[in-house]
Amino acid sequence: MTKREFDKEAFKKDVVAYLKTLYRKSINEASMQQIFNAVAYSMKEMIVDEWWDTHKAYDEQDVKMVYYMSMEFLMGRALGNNLINLQAYDGVKEALEELGLDLNVIEDQERDYALGNGGLGRLAACFLDSLATLGYPAYGAGIRYKYGMFKQEIRDGYQYEVPDDWLKNGNPFEIRREEYAKEVRFGGYVRVVTDETGRNHFVQEGYQAVRAIPYDLPIVGYGNGVVNTLRIWDAEAINTFNLDDFDKGQYQKAVESENLAKNIVEVLYPNDNHYAGKELRLKQQYFFVSATVQAAIKRYLKKHDDVRKLHEKVCFQLNDTHPTVTVAELMRLLMDEYKLTWDEAWDVTTKTCAYTNHTIMAEALEKWPIELFSRLLPRIYQIVEEINRRFIEDIKAKYPDCADYKIQKMAIVYDGQVKMANLAIVAGFSVNGVARLHTEILKNQELKDFYEMFPNKFNNKTNGITQRRFLLHGNPLLASWVTDKIGNEWITDLPHIKKLEIYATDKKAQQEFMQIKYQNKLRLAKYIKENNGIDVDPRSIFDVQVKRLHEYKRQLLNILHVIYLYNQLKDNPNMDFYPRTFIFGAKAAAGYKIAKLTIKLINSVADVINNDASINGKIKVVFIEDYRVSNAEWIFAASDVSEQISTASKEASGTGNMKFMLNGALTLGTMDGANVEIVEEVGIENAFIFGLSADEVINYEQNGGYDPMQIFNNDQDIRRVLMQLINGYFSPMDPELFRDLYNSLLNTQSTSKADTYFILKDFRSYAEAQKRVEEAYKNEAWWAEAAIKNVANVGKFTSDRTIQEYVDDIWHLTKLK
């Protein structure tokens, strides 16, 4: 592909012209939001030419295409990333300065794309970046949420969920592609028609339908002229208003079709604590899957006439269980629309669909009530039942002596539920985990029966991150320093950064590195002051845990340890103590009571500690509101300590650990997920490891033997911390406020097991590791050396490597020429 060069003068003229055309204003008259839009539209003109060239090359070269199917894509902001990958950032910055404008201020006008939430969505975004940068043909496929998950506001320490109206000012980078609209059907019933040959045909009738409208977003490859596409689907009513129903007084029914469409794309992950929420989630999943699969087949048939060979040019990669209904929808289309037999359709489907498992947590392996699934997707349910029937016959044939046990473990339809992970494993030609430890646990524990039956399907693809977003864009000071030392090859070949290791013991390089870290800490301290009103010392240790709030990620362990340190300081005001700033950032799912209460606890502890003059500011606690990609970049750059403290065996991989490592933070963590591989790369001496191993956790879970009450009884410091949860120390107006957290650690009044995630069991080991952190940080030369070594050994954890492994082992794509 041919990369176009940036024309500074043409760009300046375009910005001025757009302001006049769109708003009839000059630069001096326009608002910053209007200037952002003008800059974005001007950049889009540069992108669109390469975009069309890329798609033309797709067709001319008849490439195989991967469709990366995901409920979420945590894209962050687009402008800066596009400028970086177009290699136009410096040119645009200079052009805007000549117009009297600051690019940093303009970037801040853009809202983060509200298309994702946690690591799953951010991984998908990194993968799209790497696919384009490596020159591989790909579409991302998801939903154009109007409000995303939610915008988090903290009021009186509590999380409040408010709509994130990210599209309020439009999205200059998207293109509406109405010509590719598809119809998606829900409900009704299936009528069977037998033709003259005796073949049955299945016709869905009495259904509700919505129109899926694709919006295409450009995914710009770094410096190679390749622009791939993230296609997100909006929903519109086919018949927006039924006058007949309205005239009969049935006002709700008159707009039923419009409301159905509107609800589907309103929010990411609607609360599914109730039946209506479950139904909406299933509608969302089927909506974008059906539209994408329909479009993929249509695109294939433009150049090919035999749908039986679809797998030669198309691969659907299912990003966790959310899109696994792809299996049945592809079967439906191949049989009902393209008239293939069952065996023909199954042959195509099982060569086209591949599944990535992202979790060991049983509750995240989606299961749908049969009643809901069959009512909402009647034809899909018929197909799933038939897949299940045939699979059970295979089980009986292969395991005649223990068929009932195997069916209980592996059936797709069982116990009144449709089990989506089982469907994906049975139909997929590949099943991969996302870190070596995670994959081994899947093979030996969670999916052991499937692995025994289908050993050749299972493989590992350790996750990765894009260095272009999280170093080149997110930490420009460090990126420039790295480039000055070793050249810029690391931007597209991260293992090249290994050359930096020779500077780890260089005194001058250490000083330069620590000064860059200090500047980044100053930047974050300013952000915290502006947004939280808290003064933090940039020379303190920035100890950071930012990630989705879940019990297994153990933010509770972190804040309990903060209370423990605070108690020590209160008891011994003159003790040797290096100042610490504990920084948290996390969203809790709207219906997740314990997680939301943990946020309240963190903020209540912060209120007490931050306002206690007696400790002389030696501890500060900060909860950063509305954690997202744009503020994450600043947080990673400023961090000294990377808290990766999940219960061993529970975190599939983690990618925050890699982003911290890339920015020179040292890992404080358990041997869980990708932490294991990080420690292998950088050396255990350059990290702080603590806690139970995965095997020890699994042994306790399977065989018992752990009683947290024994720790409570025998460890006075831990008992004191836990009693402070229920004696009003951090909630004087409501001493019972944190009772559920207390109960979750010691009994089964709030949870099914006491201390499910071994917080008290790991507490002392964690506290000792934290003490090692403090001692190590006092030795600035040692810390600088270890931090530089972390950056130098991050090469394995680029998403470029992960994508190349997917290409080599699963997708078998050819690069665009």
- Spatial separation of the C-alpha atoms in residues 789 and 253, rounded to whole Å: 64
- Spatial separation of the C-alpha atoms in residues 628 and 625, rounded to whole Å: 9
Q: Is 104 exposed, middle or buried, given 0-12, 13-18 or 19+ CB atoms closer than 10 A?
A: exposed
- Spatial separation of the C-alpha atoms in residues 654 and 464, rounded to whole Å: 9
Residues facing residue 319 across a β-bridge: 356
From the list 655, 667, 670, 798, the catalytic residue is: 655
**Torsion (CA) 138, 366, 558, 633 in degrees, nearest 10:** 20
Reading the block at residue 303, the tokens are: 């150049």
Among residues 420, 408, 412, which one has the least CA distance to residue 388?
Answer: 412
Query: CA 650 → CA 118, 352, 409, 427, 595, distances in Å?
Result: 16, 30, 20, 26, 16
* Whether residue 553 lies in the annotated active site: yes
Residue 111, amino acid: R
From the list 122, 547, 580, 789, the catalytic residue is: 547
* Whether residue 778 lies in the annotated active site: no
Residue 424 · residue 355 · CB < 8 Å: yes
Q: Kindly report the length of the chain.
A: 817
Residue 321 · residue 360 · CB < 8 Å: no
* Whether residue 764 lies in the annotated active site: no
CA angle (795, 799, 804) in 5-degree steps: 100
Residue 218 · residue 139 · CB < 8 Å: no
Alpha helices in 333-402 (DSSP H): 342-352, 370-376, 378-398
SS3 170: coil
- Spatial separation of the C-alpha atoms in residues 719 and 567, rounded to whole Å: 12
From the list 278, 461, 469, 548, the catalytic residue is: 548
From the list 211, 379, 650, 659, the catalytic residue is: 659
Residue 211, amino acid: R
Residues facing residue 212 across a β-bridge: 182, 235
- Spatial separation of the C-alpha atoms in residues 233 and 243, rounded to whole Å: 28
What would the DSSP string read from start to end of 493-523?
Answer: -GGGGGGGGGGTT-HHHHHHHHHHHHHHHHH
* Whether residue 274 lies in the annotated active site: no
- Spatial separation of the C-alpha atoms in residues 2 and 226, rounded to whole Å: 8
Residue 3 · residue 50 · CB < 8 Å: yes
SS3 197: coil
From the list 44, 122, 473, 553, the catalytic residue is: 553
* Whether residue 358 lies in the annotated active site: yes
Give every CB contact of residue 470 below 8 A, 6+ residues apart in sequence. 633, 636, 659, 662, 663
- Spatial separation of the C-alpha atoms in residues 694 and 671, rounded to whole Å: 7
SS3 666: strand
Residue 496, amino acid: H
Backbone angles phi, psi at 386, to 5 degrees: -70, -40
The residue with tokens 């957290």 is 741
Give every CB contact of residue 524 below 8 A, 6+ residues apart in sequence. 538, 542, 634, 635, 637, 638
Query: CA 562 → CA 394, 568, 600, distances in Å?
Result: 54, 10, 15
From the list 358, 406, 443, 600, the catalytic residue is: 358
* Whether residue 548 lies in the annotated active site: yes
- Spatial separation of the C-alpha atoms in residues 151 and 481, rounded to whole Å: 35
Find the helix or strand (DSSP H, E) in which 282 lies: helix 275-301
What residues act catalytically? 358, 547-548, 553, 655, 659
